[in-house]
A and B are shown apart, each in its own frame.
Chain A
């Protein structure tokens, strides 16, 4: 199996440490916080994700234009995406953590998250058994690695501006006394 050079692994480790620290500092690696978001009693998790997406979109598209990176988009395979999304959502609600916050919750010492991570490993093993049998069905109707601007034949900037405006507007509403 391929193993990345140590420098690249350390870079990944450092990026992960920062990610885990931010998740914990944000108070989102908690079962009750995530379940309250799913019940729409609290908006913190969606705010973190939306802000990250808006800031990241501005940054990553600017860097891409400057030739400093390239996009890495996942393919639009409708069966895999919809089927996977349904299973994933049900699992998140039952566990009360998503994959990233599960790992962060383990680091923070939340013991139910340890059971969750063990379940995730078991799920990955089962996936390796099932995947060869269902690969063809999952990839049926593959639309390729497309973005929303490409699908709708629109420029990129209105999407990025819209996403940013949505988050800025939300922040402004919350900041009102």
Chain B
């Protein structure tokens, strides 16, 4: 067990903390935790800046029900990285570009790992915006509201992720 894992809090304590944070968010912002809508907003902002005509970004804005905004959730997503930075700073350095499990199967090559991470991130975001939520927005915020969409998403996502992980990392 690594130093950082020994310093980790109980998953029940962390889960209860996130649950309490959800309640806080529902009172103060009238909605729960979520982090992928800001990526959609960032994509719109970037295209408006670089190529507003060629990207046809206005067609997207017109089609989408919710107008993109630099809002509470946008600030929240930025805050997540700040919060983990504050905690990790106190836990000492852990500079590992290629995770151990990945390296065991696919070697220590940094380029290969970065390429897979990039592709995985793109696929994941396509899915999240298609379904309007992720592990936070559907997986926690939606399931705690007993939303039918979120329970269905969580089940499908879990099966798809487990099957893909088995294919990538399971015994051959």
> CB within 8 Å of B: which residues of A?
1-4, 8-32, 35-36, 38-40, 43-45, 47-60, 63-64, 68-78, 80-96, 98-113, 115-132, 135, 138, 143, 145-151, 156, 159-160, 167, 171
Contact = CB atoms under 8 A, between A and B. Distances in A.
A52 B120 contact: no
B139 A49 contact: yes
B76 A13 contact: yes
Interface string B110-128: 0001111111111111111
Contacts, number: 536
A1 B58 CA distance: 12
Question: Chain B at the A interface: mostly helix, strand, loop or mixed?
Answer: helix
Contacts of B21: 15, 18-19, 22
B156 to A, nearest CB: 3
Contacts of B168: 93-94
Contacts of A64: 26
Given A81-B149, A110-B96, A16 B83 contact: yes
Question: Chain A at the B interface: mostly helix, strand, loop or mixed?
Answer: helix
B146 A89 contact: no
B76 to A, nearest CB: 4
B149 A85 contact: no
Contact of B134 (A2, A99, A109): A99
Interface of B: 4-5, 8-9, 11-12, 14-33, 35-36, 39-48, 55-57, 59-60, 62-64, 67-88, 93-102, 113-170
A94 B9 contact: no
A96 B117 contact: yes
Most buried by A among B113, B129, B138, B152: B129
Contacts of B47: 125, 128
Given A44-B11, A59-B19, A119-B117, 6 more contacts: A39-B162, A81-B149, A83-B130, A99-B124, A100-B33, A103-B35
Contacts of B123: 87-88, 90-91, 94, 119, 123
A124 B43 CA distance: 6
- Counting from the closest, the 7 A-B pairs by CB-CB distance are A16-B79, A51-B15, A55-B19, A84-B131, A89-B160, A20-B83, A119-B121
Contacts of A32: 99-101
A145 B72 CA distance: 22
Contact of A124 (B39, B70, B146, B153): B39
Contacts of A99: 35-36, 39, 124-125, 128, 134-136
A4 B70 contact: yes
B121 A117 contact: yes
A92 B153 contact: no
B79 A22 contact: no
